[in-house]
Structure 1
Amino acid sequence: MCSKTDHTIHGAHHHFGWDRSIPPVATVAPGATLEFECLDSSGGQLTPASTVADVARLDFGRINPVTGPILVEGAEPGDALKVTIHQFKPSGFGWTANIPGFGLLADQFGEAALHVWKYDPATLAPAAFSPFGRVPLKPFAGTIGLAPAEPGLHSVVPPRRVGGNMDIRDLAAGTELYLPVEVAGALFSIGDTHAAQGDGEVCGTAIESPMSVVLSLDLVKAAGLETPRFTTSGPVTRHLDAKGYEVTTGIGADLMEAARGAVARMVDHLCRTRGMAAVDAYMLCSVCADLRISEIVDQPNWVVSFYFPRIVLE
């Protein structure tokens, strides 16, 4: 844990989308440690008092704000920005929603749904979803990246070679992330913080939660990095492994369809064995269950497996 920061970047200093022309809110030397106040992915549109009716009123022009950008002195195209994530300071509030038209099974779940979470920001004890389960928490930043070289405003939704909305749950405290620099100064921003997420974020949202992030920024000159890479400080699934998993599969010639099949079968399994409503099972899968490619060499069919941690149900 890092106790001293050189700068605090307040949540008011946020932007929507990536654009190399956005003026930096701070300029730092390599090695600087900063604390970022990050908004949730709704940009504050959803609150602890929100209801499902608020999901239909979301302004998608205000989705996924990121705090920044930060200019790092000496950063040049071809370098890599090294981001060392020290600490998350969670808020204790989060939300998960099914947003019509969004998510892996959007064609099967056309109605809006919302679950508002309350958790202990000090202990990060597993958070109750409902009588059906409690989810172990693992804070991370879903969107973390640099400005692209191509001029103009670019949507924050798709990830890019310079990072962005990657939704990698292992970008947690202790991780070192390397991002390829495309513009002078790098122009680093971060947001979309989550209290927990399964690999795949299958319904399109995790436990979306505002929180602060403490991290350091450094440079690796002439790194020649093509896409982001990262190093974890230890095991990445220990918070979920203790009781084993329920696993469903999808098998076929199309990885996307296999993934959809594996998730749909897990939703059906949870409904049948736990008495859950389908949309609740779908949202719960999004915050704690993991999609994995189990086999991709035995053509013409590939295997995708969906791992639901049994600890959530006990």
Structure 2
Amino acid sequence: MCAACDHTIHRNSIHHGWSRDFAPVLSARPGARIHFECRDASDGQLTRGSTVSDVAGLDFGRINPVTGPVFVEGAQPGDVLKVTIHRFHPSGLGWTANIPGFGILADQFPDPALAVWTYDTTGQVPAAFGPGGRVPLKAMAGTIGVAPAEPGHHSIVPPRRVGGNMDIRDVGEGTVLYLPVEVDGALFSIGDAHAAQGDGEVCGTAIETAMDVELSLDLIKDRPLAAPRFTTAGPVSRHLDAAGYEVTLGIGPDLLTGVRESVARMIDLLADEHGLDPVDAYMLCSVCGDLRISEVVDQPNWVVSFYFPRIVFA
């Protein structure tokens, strides 16, 4: 429990998807500090004892539950909701899965796979993976947003101009996120926490985990915002930088093809140098490897780079 918080929203107050018609579970004044209890992205379908067969049987109607929504008093369309993330409370248990049909290389990895993680809840000590690898941890919120103005029920899966399932690694402790308000009260929700994720989340999952979040909600009045933006509190990759990186490239006229090629080449490299099964290398890339667009000016070809932190196997 958060002694400094004004409110707590418990893990039974969830919804799947977005709608301006969802009834708020809390009405809060601007400036309120709120403790959110967030379920994992499978909504409890994957547990410590789960196997690959459980991945194949996932109920996608329960994927990515978010806690909320919160009605922010005075919020109106054209305002900005300022979200300050103060602290994460990790659960110590997580999972990474290759889900058939999902991920940037879904055509190359059609079969389900699963890795179950246990990790330290106090110091976020690196978690073990496979033959000798240890992944530096960094808690973050994958799905965080407000309700869209369009009527109806909207899928939780794609990100939107009002936030949602953005899966940005750097939306972590100390980050201040700004979201455009499109409905009265904003109707803010959060979930899909990760203990670690690479930029790109290339296989479609990170270290998915149940995790509580403390944050504050403030209003900036009459400041239209076209899309979310955020400010970080400091360096964003220090936990990965210590031993340098291996980097593979994709070069050509199509950025998405470049992404696929750079990831596939890193999978080949990890499998060759560290004896990983390719699907394990794919999941590991999703957890701690970073996609970067390195060059888009020397047409007709662009350069996409995939950075894998050497500290994992140091």
TM-score normalised over the length of structure 1: 0.99
Cα distance in 1 between the residues matched to 2:274 and 2:16: 40
Question: Structure 2: which amino acid aligns with 1:178?
Answer: Y
**Equivalent residue, structure 2, for 1:152:** 152
**Equivalent residue, structure 2, for 1:298:** 298
**Equivalent residue, structure 1, for 2:141:** 141
Count of aligned positions: 313
1:169 maps onto 2:169 in alignment: yes
**Equivalent residue, structure 2, for 1:253:** 253
Cα distance in 1 between the residues matched to 2:37 and 2:189: 11
The alpha carbon displacement at 1:238 in A equals: 0.2
**Equivalent residue, structure 2, for 1:273:** 273
Superposition pairs for residues 1-314 of structure 1, below 5 Å?
A: 4-314=4-314
DSSP-derived class of the 1:224 partner: coil
Measured against aligned partners, the alpha-carbon deviations of 1:117-136 in whole angstroms (never above 9, x if no partner) come to 00010121000012241000
Cα distance in 2 between the residues matched to 1:228 and 1:239: 25
Cα distance in 1 between the residues matched to 2:95 and 2:13: 23
DSSP-derived class of the 1:134 partner: strand
DSSP-derived class of the 1:58 partner: coil
Indicate if the aligned counterparts of 1:132 and 1:276 stay in contact, CA closer than 8 A. no
Identity %: 71
Indicate if the aligned counterparts of 2:109 and 2:279 stay in contact, CA closer than 8 A. yes
Question: Structure 1: which amino acid aligns with 2:163?
Answer: G
DSSP-derived class of the 1:234 partner: coil
DSSP-derived class of the 2:54 partner: helix
The alpha carbon displacement at 1:104 in A equals: 0.4
Structure 1 unaligned residues grouped into runs of 5+: none
DSSP-derived class of the 1:137 partner: coil
Measured against aligned partners, the alpha-carbon deviations of 1:3-42 in whole angstroms (never above 9, x if no partner) come to 5000000010000000110100000000000000001110
DSSP-derived class of the 1:128 partner: strand
Indicate if the aligned counterparts of 2:130 and 2:276 stay in contact, CA closer than 8 A. no
TM-score normalised over the length of structure 2: 0.99
Question: Structure 1: which amino acid aligns with 2:41?
Answer: S
The alpha carbon displacement at 1:183 in A equals: 0.2
Indicate if the aligned counterparts of 2:69 and 2:189 stay in contact, CA closer than 8 A. yes
Deviation >6 Å, runs of 4+: none
